[in-house]
Amino acid sequence: MTVKTFRILLISMVFLALGAVSVSAQQDREADHEALRVLRNRMITAIEKQDVHALASYFSRDFVFITSTQNALTSQADIQAFMDRMFHGEKALVVGVESHAEADILTRFLGEDVGICYGSSEDVYTMKSGSIVRMKLRWSATVLREDGEWKVAVAHVGADFLDNPVLDEVLNSSRRMGFAEGLVGLFIGAFVGWFFGRRKGRVAKS
């Protein structure tokens, strides 16, 4: 075997070894991608079911969740208060939501145990009025492997304030409510006027 042939053989073996390492790394990351898909689906289910305990368990010990209403949630108590205000409070206008979140990219790993991802979602809101409203959102997330499990450390959800169907529905509901209250007020005013007018007429006759 000549020196030239030996060098070619050595270089080929190095490239084969690097290729094997690359394939192995991709396979390892695919397992992580699948685990992250499961995490995303579980979080969506928890949001739709308004399961605060389950949702909180999918975040890391230290986390921040910026909601579509731009509230910053950093604890399970924050999540509970937000859910109560959105769905159960006296001023709540939404009774249910369905989320259809999809990632634009595969998670980009910044290290062995941290990655970033972003995507979009078309959410369907059931309003207290009974109407159904669809809204497109954008989201981003930073994920962290903690105690051997992938968790969400940072999540940010944003909406286009120039194209916000939920806000439009709230404003329209307020206008309808104001119009209805105006009609009721007009009816009550007319009735009171008619009633006291009749009483004055009777008093005058007597």
The answer to whether residue 180 scores a pLDDT higher than 80 is no
Res. 41: pLDDT tops 60 = yes
Average pLDDT over residues 35-48: 97
With tokens 């194209």, the residue in question is 163
Q: What is the mean pLDDT of residues 41-48?
A: 97
160's enclosing H/E stretch is: none
pLDDT of amino acid 151: 98
- For residue range 151-173, what is the model confidence (pLDDT) as tens digits? 999 999 998 867 665 556 655 65
**Burial grade of 107 (CB within 10 A; 0-12, 13-18, 19 or more):** buried
pTM of the model: 0.69
Task: Give the tokens for residue 185.
Answer: 């007020």
Domain residue extents for the chain: 3-161
Helices (H) and strands (E) in the chain, counts: 4, 8
Residue 56 has pLDDT above 90, yes or no: yes
Q: How confident is residue 193, by pLDDT bands cut at 50, 70 and 90? A: very low
pLDDT at 159: 87
Examine the pLDDT at 14 and tell me if it is beyond 80: no
Q: What is the pLDDT of residue 67?
A: 95
CATH number of 3-161: 3.10.450.50
In this predicted model, what pLDDT tens digit does every residue of 71-118 receive, in sequence order?
A: 999 999 999 999 999 999 888 989 999 999 999 999 999 999 999 999
